[in-house]
């Protein structure tokens, strides 16, 4: 046994590669290996020698030590040979970007929250009662035609054609308490013709403020802050008389054209002004039906078209760009913004 171990030591001293080590292993420990053969005789040895033999077998750990040595050598060689060139450009990892419609929503939300508004939510499948009736649009009212709608189950449930029904929900929940300061962005549905600027599904941001002595000038001030925040501090705002059954008086919300400095261009259709939403003083009938006394409180409401704001801000002419989830549009506009 001792002779064999001596021979093994010599063999190991001469090898450099892992492959040789395997050969040596077979030579000594393989089926017909020298040590294997010797081990088969162990049972015939007297007890004292058995112990000795066993102790010698422990010396076979030499093989493991050699393997480690070789592996370290190989690794060191590799490290020496392969240096990493950190001057090479790295692989580009594609980055996502927030959807630009969502970005506008968040901008408006953050601004109005800083002014004390809460962001609330309402269902997209709405009662006819809240979407129309309690907003002063009884059945058969001609103003319903402008929002030709998707009905679900008879005539009582529909896909909301505007976010205004959340006004009713908020006031019913408010139970006559003031102030109410709420905004709610959300999807709305209309049977609009699908063309470059219309879609059967679009988004609005509705707002409602109810308190004592609320007037049109409060609405003007609020609108002014939103317009300047989104489109630049030198924007002008104006009200244009309008009609909505749930507000009296009603106005269209216009901002001065940011594209041409009010000289007239295709974006403002030559007028110098761009309409971004509707608004007004909440109609007494709406307050009454929702549990508020029009003699004691008043309020204003507004509704912006979110896609419209987005398209204006980013100079997009086709609304479908906003819905096709093409990362290129988002990253492009994202970069412009950063």
| Residue ranges in contact with ligand DAH by CB under 6 A | 162, 164, 206, 244, 247, 278-280, 301-303
DSSP structure class, residue 254: E
Question: Is 131 or 256 the residue whose CB approaches ligand DAH more closely?
Answer: 131
DSSP SS3 for 4: helix
C-alpha span between 117 and 105 (Å, rounded): 14
C-alpha span between 260 and 203 (Å, rounded): 27
Cα distances (angstroms) measured from residue 4 to each of 19, 43, 135, 141, 335: 21, 19, 102, 109, 74
Question: Is 28 or 244 the residue whose CB approaches ligand DAH more closely?
Answer: 244
Within 156-200, strands assigned E span 157-159, 180-189
Q: How far is the CB of 161 from ligand DAH (least distance, A)?
A: 7
- What are the strands of the beta sheet with 298-305, ordered from one edge? 118-119, 180-189, 201-211, 298-305, 273-282, 247-256, 237-244
Question: Is 186 or 278 the residue whose CB approaches ligand DAH more closely?
Answer: 278
Q: Tokens 């050969």 belong to which residue?
A: 23
Q: How far is the CB of 301 from ligand DAH (least distance, A)?
A: 3
In 10 A of CB 200, how many CB atoms? Answer: 13
Q: How far is the CB of 276 from ligand DAH (least distance, A)?
A: 11
* Residue 305: strand pairing partners: 204
CB 292, CB 269: distance < 8 Å = no
Question: Is 28 or 304 the residue whose CB approaches ligand DAH more closely?
Answer: 304
DSSP structure class, residue 88: S
Q: How far is the CB of 243 from ligand DAH (least distance, A)?
A: 10
Question: Is 12 or 128 the residue whose CB approaches ligand DAH more closely?
Answer: 128
For residue 141, give every residue at least 6 positions away whose Cβ sits within 8 Å of its Cβ, in sequence order, or none: 132, 245
DSSP structure class, residue 90: P
Q: How far is the CB of 196 from ligand DAH (least distance, A)?
A: 20
Q: How far is the CB of 188 from ligand DAH (least distance, A)?
A: 7
Q: How far is the CB of 277 from ligand DAH (least distance, A)?
A: 6
C-alpha span between 124 and 132 (Å, rounded): 14
């Amino acid at each position: 046994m001792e002779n064999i171990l001596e021979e093994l030591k010599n063999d190991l001293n001469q090898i450099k590669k892992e492959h040789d080590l395997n050969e040596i292993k077979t030579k000594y420990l393989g089926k017909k290996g020298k040590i294997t053969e010797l081990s088969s005789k162990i049972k015939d040895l007297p007890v004292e020698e058995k112990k000795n033999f066993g102790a010698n077998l422990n010396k076979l750990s030499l093989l493991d030590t050699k393997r480690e040595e070789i592996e370290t050598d190989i690794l060191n060689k590799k490290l020496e040979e392969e240096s990493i060139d950190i001057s090479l450009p790295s692989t580009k990892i594609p980055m996502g970007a927030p959807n630009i419609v969502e970005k506008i929503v968040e901008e408006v939300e953050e601004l109005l929250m800083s002014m004390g508004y809460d962001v609330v939510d309402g269902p997209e499948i709405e009662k006819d009662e809240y979407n129309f009736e309690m907003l002063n649009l009884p059945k058969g009212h001609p103003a319903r035609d402008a929002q030709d709608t998707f009905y679900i189950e008879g005539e009582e449930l529909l896909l909301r054609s505007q976010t205004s029904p959340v006004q009713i929900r908020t006031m019913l929940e408010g139970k006559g308490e003031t102030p109410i300061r709420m905004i709610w962005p959300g999807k709305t549905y209309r049977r609009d013709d699908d063309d470059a600027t219309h879609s059967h599904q679009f988004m609005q941001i509705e707002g409602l403020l109810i308190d004592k002595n609320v007037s049109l000038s409060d609405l003007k001030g609020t609108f002014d802050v939103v317009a300047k925040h989104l489109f630049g501090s030198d924007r002008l705002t104006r009200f244009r008389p309008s009609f909505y059954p749930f507000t009296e008086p009603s106005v269209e919300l216009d901002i001065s054209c940011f594209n041409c400095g009010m000289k007239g261009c295709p974006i403002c259709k030559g007028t110098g002004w761009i309409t971004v939403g509707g608004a007004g003083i909440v109609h007494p009938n709406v307050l009454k039906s929702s549990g508020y006394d029009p003699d004691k409180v008043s309020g204003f409401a507004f509704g912006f078209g979110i896609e419209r704001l987005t398209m204006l801000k980013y100079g997009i002419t086709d609304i479908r760009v906003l819905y096709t989830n093409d990362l290129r549009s988002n990253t492009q506009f994202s970069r412009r913004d950063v």
